[in-house]
Structure 1
Amino acid sequence: MEDPSPFDAQSLLVESETLDAFLAELAAEAKRRMPGANGCGVTLERDGRPYTVASAGSSAPPLDEMQYTIDDGPCLEALRHDKEVYVTDMAEETRWMPYPPFAVDRGTRSSLSLPLKERHGMAGALNLYAERPGAFAEADKERLRLIAAQASGALVLAVRIADAQQSAADLQATLRSRTVIDQAMGVIMGQQRCGADDAFAFLRAASQNRNIKLRDLCVQLIQNVTGEPPQEGAFQPRK
């Protein structure tokens, strides 16, 4: 069966609002373009720990998790050794025990795993599972190779975008906290007739003595003085 349109990972990334959405669409597209597959999982590994970050179909999650549990299997071999791993028939497979009989018990007889190239401390694999032996022909393998090659580059970009979004969120939280502290410092400067450095030192000492976070102490102080919660400014990125 011919693909309705060429796979375009960059367009898929642009159309996805989050990293999770991109990975979910990647798994769904890979499964859709492999007629013999009944499940697809996307595995990423960071700091030596693999995770199924997205899946399509019900077969992938338990098969992936079993491999993580025994720390072995076609998915992890593809990921860690940067090579394609095709299992023609799980019923005849002798590697990665006890994974093959586990897969057979759950109705999976063949699988195809391709690495997502390791970059910036991250490695991954795209895993397809099928109910019948020898489900993936050479044309299917070539199709998945093209998908994995495109997905590798798009995935690195997606992770960078997600990291940047998290950094922006962290910056907003920091600036909101800073605004509250500045308001509390203003209160102390007025009450104690002192400078900014002395006001901050006063608040920090009170925070340590009461074993309470500085920001929480400042919120309490402002509410006690004004009867209202502090006005928290927010960082707005440029459009």
Structure 2
Amino acid sequence: MMIDQLVDWRVSGVLLDIRGHSEAASACALARIATSAVSDIAGSPVEATVTLVRPDSTPFTAATTDGARDLSRWDQFAGRGPTSRALDGRLTIILNDHCLDTRWEEYPASLRTAGFRSAVGVPLQLERGYRAALTLYSAETNVFSSVVASQTLAFSGVAARSLVLALQVRAGLAQSADLRAAIASRTAINTACGVLMGQNKCSYEAAFQMLRLASSHGNLTIRDVAEGMLSTLPGGVPATHFQQRA
């Protein structure tokens, strides 16, 4: 999605299409859109990173340039800049390369080294244990004025809602895929047990134990043993059918 006109990001219901095949893909799409949107807001080119921290605390940083990505990663792990602050959920902070606030220690120098002169970090409010920060960088000083910052905050609200939705869709798809795999596995196992019950005149429990014993001896999953056995039969492995509800 490219931003070809100014958008009022304060309008309720506005969302970004950042659905992707993975969480990383959604974060990358958001970083690209943020670059376009905030560049329009500021009237000057900016670069963006989206730092996403998963519930298990593993981080991923999506960026529009290598310099922006490296700086946000350093900031996150060093805890000395707007990215780390935003990941902690704290308010937006604007930094320039001439910042005299000693709390930031070497950050202004790191900002200059990366080719930037100003930066702003915004927390993205997510759900289900996820944390995220949108960090924006400019090669010019004082780009993020109070007016630009206010509109950037409005955009960040849209970005957060869009990312929450994208993560929910991704989780739903993963859950659906896991369910389908489980049902397919159960179909093969149940069919193989039925064959063994007929061949050995035994119960389902006894047939299942035969598959379990074969799997332990062959260092295979029970599903692999079942499918291997069924593949030698005339009908092969039965297909699993899923019915879509209206």
TM score, norm. by length of structure 1: 0.84
Are 1:4 and 2:28 counterparts? no
Which residue of structure 1 aligns with residue 143 of structure 2?
A: 135
User: Which structure 1 segments of 5+ residues have no match?
Assistant: none
Indicate which of 190, 214, 224 corresponds to 1:206. 214
The alpha carbon displacement at 1:230 in A equals 1.6
Indicate which of 29, 34, 40 corresponds to 2:33. 29
Label 1:134 to 1:216 Cα distance change in 2 as closer, same or farther (>3 A): same
Label 1:52 to 1:133 Cα distance change in 2 as closer, same or farther (>3 A): farther
Are 1:86 and 2:88 counterparts? no
Partner deviation per Cα, 1:94-132 (whole Å, 9 max, x = no partner): 444544423311201210111112533222111101112
Are 1:108 and 2:116 counterparts? yes
Matches within 5 A, 1:1-239: 3-7=5-9, 10-13=14-17, 16=19, 18=21, 20=24, 22-35=26-39, 36-47=44-55, 49=57, 51-89=59-97, 94-223=102-231, 225-226=232-233, 230-238=237-245
Cα distance between partner residues in 2 of 1:128 and 1:230? 54
Q: Is 1:108–1:131's contact at 8 Å kept on the other side of the alignment?
A: yes
The alpha carbon displacement at 1:214 in A equals 0.7
User: Which structure 2 segments of 5+ residues have no match?
Assistant: none
Q: Is 2:51–2:62's contact at 8 Å kept on the other side of the alignment?
A: yes
Letter in 2 for 1:171: L
Cα distance between partner residues in 1 of 2:148 and 2:141? 14
The alpha carbon displacement at 1:57 in A equals 3.8
Q: Is 1:39–1:59's contact at 8 Å kept on the other side of the alignment?
A: no
Cα distance between partner residues in 1 of 2:216 and 2:60? 42
Cα distance between partner residues in 2 of 1:146 and 1:167? 32
Cα distance between partner residues in 2 of 1:104 and 1:17? 33
**Residue range with higher mean Cα deviation, 167-176 or 96-105:** 96-105
Letter in 2 for 1:230: V
Cα distance between partner residues in 2 of 1:217 and 1:99? 58
Which secondary structure state, in structure 2, belongs to the residue aligned with residue 125 of structure 1? strand
Cα distance between partner residues in 2 of 1:91 and 1:104? 11
Partner deviation per Cα, 1:165-205 (whole Å, 9 max, x = no partner): 11001001111111111221122112112232221122123
RMSD (Å), alpha carbons: 2.8
The alpha carbon displacement at 1:209 in A equals 3.5
Q: Is 2:52–2:60's contact at 8 Å kept on the other side of the alignment?
A: yes
Q: Is 1:38–1:57's contact at 8 Å kept on the other side of the alignment?
A: no
**Residue range with higher mean Cα deviation, 2-11 or 114-123:** 2-11
Label 1:211 to 1:37 Cα distance change in 2 as closer, same or farther (>3 A): same
Cα distance between partner residues in 2 of 1:149 and 1:50? 23
Label 1:52 to 1:37 Cα distance change in 2 as closer, same or farther (>3 A): farther
